[in-house]
Structure 1
Amino acid sequence: MQDEDLAGVMRALGHPVRLSIMRMLAAQRQNPCCCTDVTQSLPLAQSTVSQHIKVLLDAGLIERQARGTRNCYTLRIERLAAVNQACGGLFSGLCKPTATPHLANELA
């Protein structure tokens, strides 16, 4: 995953409501959630929930499935796995001791 793509995903996940939506979808992995399901679980207007869902869709973190007149949403597991791998690599790289002597001394 490229840095620009990862940054876009991080921006999408950078709001507490969107994190709540992601957790809700994760809890219902076997049953896709419709926008009304999400709206009933959050103290927000349907239009606000829809805006947050659109951000998650645009970031590629969730996908939409038409079910009659409703749109239901599920997590994109393969995309989340790529994000997880990219973040693991990012943080493990940032946490390695540096070879720069003055920074190594400051960290000790």
Structure 2
Amino acid sequence: MLDDRSLYHVSKDAFFDCGFTRLPSETWQDIPANGTLESSGYTLDGPCEVWLDDTQVVSGRNCRTEFPHGQHQVDYSSCGDSCTLRWYWLGIQHVDGIYSWQVYQNCIGLGRNATAWSR
């Protein structure tokens, strides 16, 4: 079902796989040395996940309460020399008596000394 793109509305200027980000990214970022990831925060209740390639490194059932400032501790060791970080958040919103899911996702290319190269 997730592969059937006709079932989903994607916001204007967004990409189905990575939201408002796009891979391959023109600007890869260095793997954070401090083991953290900071998002802009969570304004809606709902689950979130962070993946490094095929390895899930963060998950929460209600990320608004579990990560109130959008800060996550991440073990980047599975990244090796380079990987793709994927961040997902399913925010639930109640509008006019109806519950609705909003899907947020971003993709970031990470690498050691990423400023010196691009994938």
Between Structure 1 and Structure 2, which shows a larger proportion of strand residues? Answer: 2
- TM-score after normalising by structure 1: 0.25
- TM-score after normalising by structure 2: 0.24
Which protein is bigger by CA-based radius of gyration? 1
Between Structure 1 and Structure 2, which shows a larger proportion of helix residues? Answer: 1
Higher relative contact order (CA 8 A, sep 6+): 2
